A = this chain, B = another copy of it.
Amino acid sequence: MVSSRQRLCVPDDLAVGASVALSAAHAHYVRHVLRLKAGDAILLFNGRDGEWRAELAESTKEGQEKRALALLVRKQLRQQHCGPDIDYLFAPLKRARLDFMVQKATEMGVARLRPVLTRRTTATRVNIERLRANAIEAAEQCGILRLPELYAPERLESVISRWQHTRVLIFCDEQSATGDPLAILAGLSPGPLGLLIGPEGGFDDREREMLSLKPFVVKISLGPRILRAETAAIAALALVNAALGDWR
């Protein structure tokens, strides 16, 4: 049995008979955390070719630490598939909470992670490689096959001014009294979506006005309690996946 934790995301193409040389970090994980031996199985994915069963080719005995570890790709277990077509737009949070938010958005199956800088965004520097590492970690742990695409941070106004009008942008407005969010989502047709979650301090009035004037923006409310940004992200993605996405 291969547990769902024994899953690695590798950059290599995956096909029957391919040999995948492991990075130092993966080799350490395979040798010292999973303690796999030659012939033991592990799952591989790369975000493109589905999920594969592979076997450890090298012995992992003491004294062979320096030798490169390789995995032999044996059999495809799952075909690549797309999740929901959701652009997830978020104001970056401080480090640990941003890590967490990226992991959770990946778990919830978003297609793209797009940091947007708003007037009240406090964390303006975003380490894209760190975001990527968090997305990969979540995908490895949760059996996700598609890695979300990562965008460089961009100002909200700029993102909105170049928005493709056929993609509905769901704006979670903490000041909105729009009523039943499911009724609003039920009125939309399934298709490409964006989801915008604001910074901890909320959007400012000019941003809210700018957004409310756009024909592709649909406001929803996430209830009467204040939610922290990472909670709002999961909650909104749950509603969107359930009402319009692949939870139906």
CB distance from A45 to the nearest CB of B (A): 13
Report whether B247 and A222 are in contact in the complex, using a CB–CB cutoff of 8 Å.
yes
Which of B181, B226, B231, B248 is in CB contact (< 8 Å) with A247?
A: B181
Report whether B235 and A222 are in contact in the complex, using a CB–CB cutoff of 8 Å.
no
Query: Which label, helix, strand, loop or mixed, suits the secondary structure of the A interface?
Result: loop
Chain A 48-75 interface mask (CB, 8 Å, partner B; 1/0):
0000000000000000000000000000
Q: Does A13 contact B (CB under 8 A)?
A: no
Q: Does A234 contact B (CB under 8 A)?
A: yes
Number of copies: 2
Q: Does A141 contact B (CB under 8 A)?
A: yes
Chain A 137-161 interface mask (CB, 8 Å, partner B; 1/0):
0000111100000000000000000
From A104, A182, A222, A247, residue with most partner B Cβ within 10 Å: A247
Q: Does A241 contact B (CB under 8 A)?
A: yes
CB distance from A32 to the nearest CB of B (A): 21
| A246 proximity list for chain B (CB < 8 A) | 223-224
Chain A 223-247 interface mask (CB, 8 Å, partner B; 1/0):
1111110010011111101110111
Report the nearest B residue to A236, measured CB to CB: B238
Report whether A107 and B231 are in contact in the complex, using a CB–CB cutoff of 8 Å.
yes
| A143 proximity list for chain B (CB < 8 A) | 225-226
In A1-22, which residues have CB < 8 Å from any B CB?
Answer: 4
Report the nearest B residue to A235, measured CB to CB: B238
| A80 proximity list for chain B (CB < 8 A) | none
CB distance from A28 to the nearest CB of B (A): 22
Instruction: Tell me the bound Cα distance from A141 to B223 in angstroms.
Output: 16
Report whether A104 and B238 are in contact in the complex, using a CB–CB cutoff of 8 Å.
no
* Chain A interface residues toward B at CB < 8 A: 4, 83, 104, 107-109, 141-144, 179-183, 221-228, 231, 234-239, 241-243, 245-248
Query: What are 28 of the A-B contact pairs (CB < 8 Å)?
Result: A4-B226, A83-B225, A104-B231, A107-B225, A107-B226, A107-B227, A107-B231, A108-B231, A108-B235, A143-B225, A144-B225, A180-B248, A181-B247, A182-B242, A182-B248, A183-B248, A223-B246, A223-B247, A224-B246, A224-B247, A231-B234, A234-B235, A234-B238, A235-B235, A235-B237, A236-B238, A238-B239, A239-B242
